[in-house]
Amino acid sequence: MYPGRIERHLVGRMRASVLLLGAVLARCGEACLPMPGGDAIGLRGIDFHVAGLRALGAEVDLSGGMIQAKARRGLHGAEIDLPQPSVGATENLLLAAVLATGQSVIRNAAREPEMVDLARCLTAMGARIAGMDTDVLTIQGGRPLTGAVHTVMPDRVELGTIACAVAVTDGEVFLDHARADVLGAAGPLLASAGVVLEEAGTGLIARRATAGLVGIDLQTRPYPGFATDLQSPVMAMLATARGASAITETIFEQRFGHVGELRKMGANITVHGRTAWVRGVECLTGARVTATDVRAAAALVLAGLGAKRDTILDGLEHLDRGYDRMVEKLVACGAVITRSTV
């Protein structure tokens, strides 16, 4: 075993494990890890990651379900044009470029708040990165990195998910350290649907609008567009909103896995291509449903919170992968949720 090898059991369950590739390669000169795991929500190849690392001087081999990368003479600066603003590829290439020799430019870079947060952390450690908050990053590589203190930004998807849960149950919850500005287009759209996020002290108060929930139309887009990770929870919320909604998924072609499960609970949803038409019903009814991915799990929890009678959710491990102690947080807010191994 060499220093750059990462074992399968450490990375198989999580898509984000591929972010180890750029960092380990830049630090150790070589990296070997299994192809990343994660949710089966569509084609999510690592072509952009590989092409960018090769541009930085790496030799990359994909065979036998493994990613093997080497930089025999170290990484060097390069100009990289991403075909799409991929968050993972941008983060991976940034992690490699800060330790590469010379200047790198990443064009069509992702602009998600998490991407900017990573860049700010690296800057605090000594990296020189220009263009944060834009789609062109310029990195002056080769500078030694040091320890730093950095406060990780709040999880905007968890914020949106809990806000939807509050709206579904007509409750009121204070979300400490939450920031509405990180939601991008999701903020105004949630407000249009009847989700109120009001600034208060160090966070936000979430509640349902007095007029109730109403249908909206939305399309998922790269940031600052509507986040694809919020599509599933928002659909669960709109299942009981007044009127109709049209939800178009433009990022992942298999991200409607929760639709069939919501139908089991009485939701009126039809899918045509990449658009789901949601016609709000008065109330959902509890049923036994199965989560197929992280965000589907959250959607089904929300549906169960607002439904009459009990809901039994299988596949709870998906929820645990994507949310930190979500069940415990909801229970602390008054939700009645019991975990069982049966």
CA dist., res. 128 & res. 120, Å (int)? 10
At residue 297, what is the residue type?
A: A
User: Nearest Cα to 26, choosing from 1, 52, 47?
Assistant: 52
- Note the pLDDT of residue 42: 41
CA dist., res. 76 & res. 52, Å (int)? 11
- Note the pLDDT of residue 8: 65
At residue 147, what is the residue type?
A: G
Mean pLDDT in runs of 10 for the chain (342 residues)?
A: 63 73 92 71 70 96 89 94 94 96 97 95 97 96 95 95 98 96 96 98 97 98 95 98 97 90 98 97 97 94 97 93 93 93 66
What backbone phi and psi angles, to 5 degrees, belong to 250? -105, -5
Give the DSSP H or E segment for 121: helix 113-124
CA dist., res. 311 & res. 287, Å (int)? 5
- Note the pLDDT of residue 50: 93
The pTM score is 0.90
- Note the pLDDT of residue 107: 98
Query: What single DSSP character describes residue 131?
Result: -
User: Nearest Cα to 15, choosing from 297, 293, 225?
Assistant: 293
Query: What single DSSP character describes residue 100?
Result: S
In order, the DSSP letters of 151-182 are: PPPP-HHHHHHHHHHHHHHT-EEEEET--GGG
User: Nearest Cα to 323, choosing from 161, 175, 87?
Assistant: 161
